[in-house]
Amino acid sequence: MNVISISDKFHTKEDCLGYMENLRWSGHPVCPYCGSTDNIPVKKEFRHHCNNPECKKTFSVLIGTIFEGARLPLPKFFVLIGLMLNARKGISSMQLRRDVGITVRSSWYAAMRVRCAMVETISDMKGTVEADEMYVGGKPRHRKVTADNVAWLSRLEKPKRGRGAQNKVKVAGMVERDGRVITKVLSNFTAQNLLAMLKRYVNIDKATLMTDEFASYNSFDEYVTRHVIKHKQKEYVRGNVHTNTIEGYWSIVKAGIKGQYRVLSRRYFPFYLAEFAYKYNRRNAQSLQFESFMKDALSDGKCLIYHKPKGDPLKIVYPRKNKPAKANTRKFNKANKDAGKTKAKKKIAKAKKKKEIKTEKE
C-alpha cells in the first residue's frame, strides 16, 4: 500500500477504527484491561463495555497500542505511518510536518510512537554473524579556552575517529550475512557488555563470528568459533572473512543521520536505531508493509512514549549523561604560579631600584 492508496482507503476515523478492530481482534473484542472476552458494544461506535464484574470498563481498540491518547486524527496518522515506512533512510519530523500538514510537535510525537512500534527483539542469529561497533557524534567544534576546559580541549586537539573517540555515542551491532541486524547503544564496549549481547541474540552453536582485532571480542572465543580480520594491518577481506556487511549497515545509518535527521538527542537515539534496524530487516519486501506494521503496532507490549516504555526500550542501555570532563587544573595552576613568580620578581626588582634611587639621593 502506498501513501495515495492509504489516504484513499482511510478517509474517516471510523474507517481507521474498523480496520484496526479487524486486524487486532478479527471480530472478537478482548478487554485490554482484564483480558475478558465477555463484552458488548456501546451505543457510541467502536467502543465496548466489559461485562467482567471486577472490571466494568469501556474500551476502544486503541487502548494499549501506540495510538492510545494520541490527539492526531487517525487518517493523518495513517498517512504519516505510510510516509515513514516508505522512507528508506528515515524522514525528519520537519518533513513530516510539511507532508501531512500538522505542527512539528505533533509530527515528532507521532513519529516517536511509530518508532516505538518498530522496536523489536531478535534472537537466534545463525550462520555467519559479523560484529562491530560505531561511534556517532559530530566533530568537536572550536571552543573558547577557559580555565575549566583548558585540559579537556588539549585532549581534543587531535580528535580521534573511531575507537577512543571522546564524547560520542557508542553503538554495538551484529548482523547476519544476508539476514537481520541488531544494534544497541552501550555505555562502554567492555568484554562483559559485548558478551551479554552475544549470548542474548546469537545462537552460539550455529553461528560463526567475524570481528576485527578489538580486544573486547577475545572473550567470544570461549563460546563461538570466531575469525579475526586485522584492520590495523590494512587487511579488509581474507577469503570469506570480512566485516563489510556491518560496515555497510553503519554507512546506511550514518547517511540517514547526516541526510535526514541532522541532529539527534542521545536520549532518543535507541529509537532511531530501532527504526533503521526495522527497515533494514525488511529491505527485501517489494512494497511498503503497511499491514504487517499495523499488526506490530497493535500487538501487546508495544510501548507509548508518554508512558513508561513497557517493551524493550527500557532494557536498552542509555548512555550516561555526558558530564564535562574534569579540568586538569594542575597544569593551569602551575602556569599561573610561574606567571605569578615572575610578576613578584619584577615587583621586588622595582622596589629595590626605588630604594637604591632613594639611598643615592640621600
261 interacts with Zn ion by CB under 5 A: no
Q: Which is nearer to Zn ion, 33 or 214 (CB)?
A: 33
- 253, burial (CB in 10 Å: exposed 0-12, middle 13-18, buried 19+): buried
Question: Which residue, among 319, 293, 321, has the nearest Cα to 113 in the 3D structure?
Answer: 293
Identify which of residues 65 and 281 has a Cβ nearer to Zn ion in the complex. Answer: 65
Q: Is 60 in the site for Zn ion (CB under 5 A)?
A: no
**Which among 6-14, 54-62, 220-228, 317-325 is the span making contact with Zn ion, rule CB under 5 A?**
54-62
CB of residue 64 to Zn ion, shortest distance in Å: 12
- The region that residue 68 occupies, defined by phi over 0 for left and psi between -120 and 50 for alpha, beta otherwise, is beta
C-alpha span between 219 and 82 (Å, rounded): 43
Stretch that binds Zn ion, among 45-53, 138-146, 242-250, 288-296 (CB under 5 A): 45-53
| Closer CB to Zn ion, 64 or 82, in the complex | 64
Q: Which of 1, 23, 30, 34 binds Zn ion (CB under 5 A)?
A: 34
Tell me whether residue 48 or residue 184 sits nearer to Zn ion (CB atom): 48
Q: d(Cα 334, Cα 353) in Å, to the nearest integer? A: 29
Q: Whose Cβ is closer to Zn ion: residue 60's or residue 183's?
A: 60
Among 51-59, 160-168, 270-278, 333-341, the segment contacting Zn ion (CB under 5 A): 51-59
**HSE (CB half, 13 Å, CA atoms) of 194?**
24
Q: Which residues contact 326 (CB under 8 A, 6 or more apart)?
A: none
Q: Rule CB under 5 A: is residue 23 a binding residue for Zn ion? A: no
Closest distance between Zn ion and the C-beta of residue 61, in Å? 14
Q: Closer to Zn ion at the Cβ: 59 or 189?
A: 59
Residue (55 or 241) nearer to Zn ion, CB: 55
CB of 49 to Zn ion, least distance (A): 9
Q: Does 25 bind Zn ion (CB under 5 A)?
A: no
User: Does 52 sit near Zn ion (CB under 5 A)?
Assistant: yes
Q: Does 63 bind Zn ion (CB under 5 A)?
A: no
Q: According to the binding rule CB under 5 A, does residue 58 interact with Zn ion? A: no
| Residue 31 binds to Zn ion (criterion: CB under 5 A) | yes
User: With contact defined as beta carbons under 8 Å apart, do 31 and 25 qualify?
Assistant: no
- 8 Å CB contact between 174 and 246: yes
Select the span of 53-61, 307-315, 323-331, 354-362 touching Zn ion (CB under 5 A). 53-61
Regarding 195 and contact with Zn ion (CB under 5 A), the answer is no
Least separation in angstroms between CB 55 and Zn ion: 3
Does residue 55 interact with Zn ion by CB under 5 A? yes
State the number of binding residues for Zn ion (CB under 5 A). Answer: 7
The answer to whether 72 and 66 have CB atoms below 8 angstroms apart is no
Q: Does 33 bind Zn ion (CB under 5 A)?
A: yes
Among 16, 17, 20, 50, binds Zn ion (CB under 5 A): 50
Cell numbers describing residue 178? 544476508
Question: Is 59 or 280 the residue whose CB approaches Zn ion more closely?
Answer: 59
User: Is the separation of the CB atoms in 56 and 42 below 8 Å?
Assistant: no
Pick the closer one to Zn ion by CB: 53 or 164: 53
Nearest residue (CB) to Zn ion, 50 versus 198:
50
Residue numbers at the binding site for Zn ion (CB under 5 A): 31, 33-34, 36, 50, 52, 55
